[in-house]
């Protein structure tokens, strides 16, 4: 059984940075792809970044490319999301997710496993 636990969220000011972590446990993740999603109050959960576990290829949306950086540490079974130049509109609960395929998907339905999320609040 796959378990995902996020950490690293918090309250920051606009322009600050944060690094989120997603600790994964369960089977080997070499054949998995991983994603970071966020959900703001009253809005749908949206994809922000993803990575293929085997080769570490990152994927971003147009709004996050250049500000967010996704990475993973095989030895620690942990995925990271570095958030830079944060804006108030980045305020949301950030979730990590795992998909037992090698292709990074941007839709929530593709993912098999989810973490509980970590809150990121950016004040202006």
Per the prediction, the chain carries an average pLDDT of: 94
- pLDDT of 1 above 90: no
Is a pLDDT exceeding 90 seen at residue 19?
yes
Q: Which residues of 86-116 are buried (b: 16+ CB within 10 A; e: fewer)?
A: beeebbbbbbbbbbeeeebbeebebbebbbe
Percent of the chain with pLDDT over 70: 100
> Tell me: the pLDDT tens digits for 59-109?
999 989 999 999 999 889 999 999 999 999 999 999 999 999 888 999 999
Q: Is 75 left (phi over 0), alpha (psi -120 to 50) or beta?
A: alpha
CA atoms of 98 and 34, how far apart (whole Å): 5
Note the pLDDT of residue 15: 97
């Amino acid at each position: 059984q796959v378990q995902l636990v996020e950490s690293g969220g918090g309250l920051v000011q606009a322009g600050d940075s944060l690094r989120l972590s997603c600790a994964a446990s369960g089977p080997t993740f070499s054949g998995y792809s991983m994603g970071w999603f966020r959900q703001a109050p009253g809005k749908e959960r949206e994809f922000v970044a993803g990575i293929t576990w085997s080769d570490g290829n990152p994927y971003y949306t147009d709004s996050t490319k250049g500000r967010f950086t996704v990475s993973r540490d095989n030895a620690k079974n942990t995925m990271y999301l570095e958030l830079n130049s944060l804006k108030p509109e980045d305020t949301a609960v950030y979730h990590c997710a795992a998909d037992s395929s090698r292709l990074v998907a941007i839709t929530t339905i593709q993912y098999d496993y989810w973490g509980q999320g970590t809150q990121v609040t950016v004040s202006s």
